[in-house]
Amino acid sequence: MFRSASLVFLLLLPLVSSAWRQDEDDQLALVKLSTENSRTRGWTKVPVTLGVMSRCPDAIHCENVMDTVFADVGFERVDVTLSFIGKLNSSAPKYGVTCMHGEIECEGNLQELCMTTHVPHLRSWWPWLECVNLAGRDRIGHLETAVDCAIMAGIDWIEDGVRACVKGKDADSEPEGVRLLQESVKKTAELGITTSCTILVSGKKRCVRDGGEWKDCEGGSSTEDLARTIDEEWKRLNPEFV
């Protein structure tokens, strides 16, 4: 039943995901970026950190908003990190981490970390993430969703190393993703991120999505406001290319 629904969903997804849609504006943007890349290789990307929990409604909304923002500023101009909120817990048997929305959220976090680690190009893994989110909050963390969305995004779940990261290289080995999750939770705490979703631009808090509302968003919370912040930061980091 889910497999059939997934196939229908995957067929419809290209019509609704702006991260990889090929409309006229996106085509023009790609031409512009291609020209810029050939002329200005070596620019500094703007570090953008999203402090999230994979099953958090605010995180899903936040990532959908940032999809538009990244398309506006150019995926090639940002270096995006997903930083996961949780609590290190040595007594938690499977992950060594306690996640707010349960063990299935820990699995979703782990899958996303494995994907971003082994498929590092944003234009490859971001459509996968949007696919996972669009499948529905109750499907996040399920292996079928992750694999189906990898197919949609043109990612080889096995050859790209994601499967081994999620499940382990063999039955006796701890998955790499467990270590990645623990390290991410530790780093998130060090950054002082406690709310999902928190947006950092170049290490500075830019905006928070909490309880269905935008908060602490000096400079505005619209997609245009957020894109402007990233564009201004890119220009600051790359004055020779302005």
What count of residues does the chain have?
Answer: 242
- Please give the backbone phi and psi of residue 79, each rounded to the nearest 5 degrees, phi first: -115, 105
- Which sign does the torsion angle of CA 24, 27, 29, 35 carry? negative
Mean pLDDT by 10 residues, the chain (242 residues): 44 45 42 39 93 98 98 97 97 94 97 97 97 98 98 97 95 91 98 98 98 97 98 97 92
What is the per-residue pLDDT across 40-54, written as a single tens digit (0 to 9) for each? Answer: 469 999 999 999 999
Instruction: Compute the distance between CA of residue 223 and CA of residue 66 in angstroms, rounded to an integer.
Output: 7
pTM of the model: 0.84
Note the pLDDT of residue 188: 98
- Exposed, middle or buried: residue 103 (CB in 10 Å: 0-12, 13-18, 19+)? middle
> Angle of helix 103-118 relative to helix 143-153, nearest 10 degrees?
30
Residues 138-188: pLDDT tens digits? 999 999 999 999 999 999 999 999 999 999 988 778 999 999 999 999 999
Cα distances from 27 to residues 33, 34, 83, 115, 130, in angstroms, run: 10, 10, 31, 26, 20
